[in-house]
Amino acid sequence: MSTDTIAMAEVTAHKRTVPTALTRGAVAIVALLAAWFVFGDLLGLIPARTLPPLTEVVSTAGRLVVEPYAGQTLFGHLGMSLTRWGLGILMAVVIGVPLGLIMGWFRVADAVVSPLFNALRSIPPLAWIPLAILWMGTGLVTEVTLVFIAAFPPMVINAYHGARGIDSQIVWAARTSGAGATRQLVQVVVPTELPQLISGLRVALGNGLMAVIAAELVSADSGLGFLIIRGQQDFQPDLIVVGMLTIAVIGLIADTVLILITRPLLRWRNTDDRH
């Protein structure tokens, strides 16, 4: 078999991988919803107080799309959560990636920063909520800060290990071509460790989403977390489930989009032959 034929086969297999995975995932989700409908709506085996019927949740979601609840429609609450989440993630990437690269590439920076970083990252992000409210009150700045605190460590850690684990031969080749330490970092390390950065971003997105919901449960007057806590206060489990499902959908979409966007950049590393 020629090299061109092998290359074409690899590209074809790559193109089939994503649709197949998405199809299997969609089937699993549909099966779960079908089981919920059968056991909850049709057979009544699930108490409504424990888990409301699927049709009731769908009806509540449809109503929230057009009718404001606590001053916002469902999309309004979603927009507020996405704003807080996005700003916090952006801060984590902008600050965390350079810091991790510097710590991993320069020994002095590693020795100075790592002990403090490792100590602070051991504190759960939710433990910062009371102190953040005392410092900054309730509002956008507090919620964005909490997302940043949750998303920051995985960005730093993955950037750090990417810089530390780069092939020494690549570094030697860059050095012999006259590249200094800073140029090696920017032109060699960053492109090579892209998979590590993307893995860190996936973890950061999940951590940040959990943090923004937790912050909204405590200190916000809008957002999906606020919607959930209001559902608990008003004894509306259908409202709680609508908020939870919206969070699940947003998390799934964000992770899937990130994979689809970055997969072409990492095609050379695609060795997943699982069935």
Note whether residue 26 is domain-resident. Answer: yes
Do 86 and 142 lie in one domain? The reply is yes
* Buried/exposed code over 16-31 (b: 16+ C-beta within 10 A; e: otherwise): eeeeeeeeeeeeeeee
pLDDT of residue 108: 92
CB 232 within 8 A of CB 239: no
CB 241 within 8 A of CB 52: yes
- Residue type, position 198, single letter: I
The most distant pair of C-alpha atoms in the chain lies apart, rounded to whole Å, by 73
pLDDT of residue 8: 43
Structure-block tokens of residue 175: 């050095």
pLDDT of residue 259: 84
CB 213 within 8 A of CB 224: yes
- Sign, CA dihedral 57-68-210-216, equals negative
Instruction: Give mean pLDDT in consecutive 10-residue pieces for the chain, a chain of 275 residues.
Output: 44 52 78 89 83 92 93 94 96 94 88 93 91 89 95 94 70 62 64 79 94 90 93 92 94 89 64 48
The CA distance from 160 to 151, in Å, is: 15
Phi, psi angle pair for 69, to nearest 5°: -130, 120
Distance, CA of 33 to chain centre: 24
Do 12 and 52 lie in one domain? The reply is no
The CA distance from 16 to 250, in Å, is: 24
CATH number at residue 91: 1.10.3720.10
pLDDT of residue 3: 43
Note whether residue 275 is domain-resident. Answer: no
Note whether residue 274 is domain-resident. Answer: no
Q: Which domain holds residue 5?
A: 1-46
pLDDT of residue 16: 52
Q: How many domains does the chain have?
A: 2
Give the DSSP H/E element, type plus range, for residue 9: helix 3-36
| Nearest in space to 237 (alpha carbons), one of 35, 57, 41 | 57
- Residue type, position 27, single letter: V
Do 34 and 87 lie in one domain? The reply is no
Do 188 and 204 lie in one domain? The reply is yes
DSSP line for 59-111? HHHHHHHHS-BTTB-HHHHHHHHHHHHHHHHHHHHHHHHHHHHHHHH-HHHHH
Do 62 and 111 lie in one domain? The reply is yes
The CA distance from 256 to 161, in Å, is: 24
Do 77 and 41 lie in one domain? The reply is no
